[in-house]
Amino acid sequence: MSKPDNLSLDDQVLWNAFRGGDENAFGEIARKYYKGLFSYGTRFSGDREFVKDCIQDLFFEMWTRRETLGDTDFVKFYLLKSLRRKIYRESNRKNWISEETDLEYITENIGDASIEQHIIEIESSEEKTQLINQLLQSLPKRQQEVIYLKFYEDLDNDSIAQVMSISKQAVANLIYRSIRELKDRI
């Protein structure tokens, strides 16, 4: 594949910085591709929360394995392929989809949602938001704080560590533990 323009070069710079431990580069990659990954993931599963979880897990695994990841000229394709594999593995693990061909069938046969379906999705999303807020309130205060700082204030782990007067590793552990507890409770 040829490089379309400076986009691939910018992606390579971001990718290499991320692999070197630059959290800002990692955040930029996540911000740049999250929407496209979500759109792509919903082609495989109608469960939007499941897709969000898979994307979040993908980024978490990328961060923890960043030093062992190889170089890539096409970050977008790497992310899409990785997300597809993750959805497939998680789907099989949960027995939601039994074969990869089922995923291909779903992708080929998905159509535009009707207005009624869109309204149902909005109502469902509001119910899920209420549930998540209730679940967040059930977490210990420290976990609530780290979730708030990370996802509502959009602080990076270094900033959270400074605000909470704990180590960066403790922040990562708290975030991971909090998300796992929320997933388990859901």
Element (H, E) at 114: none
Task: Note whether 103 and 139 are same-domain residues.
Answer: no
Residue 139, domain extent: 112-186
Q: Mean of the pLDDT values across residues 25-47?
A: 86
Q: How much is the pLDDT for 114?
A: 54
CATH at 102: 1.10.1740.10
CB 92 within 8 A of CB 98: yes
Task: Note whether 128 and 67 are same-domain residues.
Answer: no
125-139 per-position pLDDT tens digit: 777 777 877 888 888
Last residue of a domain, one of 85, 111, 137: 111
- Separation between Cα atoms, residue 171 and residue 152, nearest integer Å: 15
Confidence of residue 28 (pLDDT cuts 50, 70, 90): very high
Task: Note whether 38 and 74 are same-domain residues.
Answer: yes
Q: Answer whether residue 121 shows pLDDT above 70.
A: no
Task: Note whether 120 and 63 are same-domain residues.
Answer: no
| % pLDDT > 90, the chain | 23
Helices (H) and strands (E) in the chain, counts: 9, 0
* Structure tokens, 177: 């533990």
pLDDT greater at residue 24 or residue 99: 24
Choice among 60-69, 154-163, 177-186 with the minimum mean pLDDT: 154-163
Q: Mean of the pLDDT values across residues 143-151?
A: 81
72-119 per-position pLDDT tens digit: 878 887 888 788 788 888 877 765 444 444 455 444 444 444 556 656
**Both ends of the chain: CA-CA distance in Å?**
42
Q: How much is the pLDDT for 32?
A: 92
- Separation between Cα atoms, residue 50 and residue 156, nearest integer Å: 24
Q: How much is the pLDDT for 69?
A: 87
Tell me the H-state helices in 20-140. 23-41, 48-64, 75-93, 100-109, 115-138
Number of domains in the chain: 2
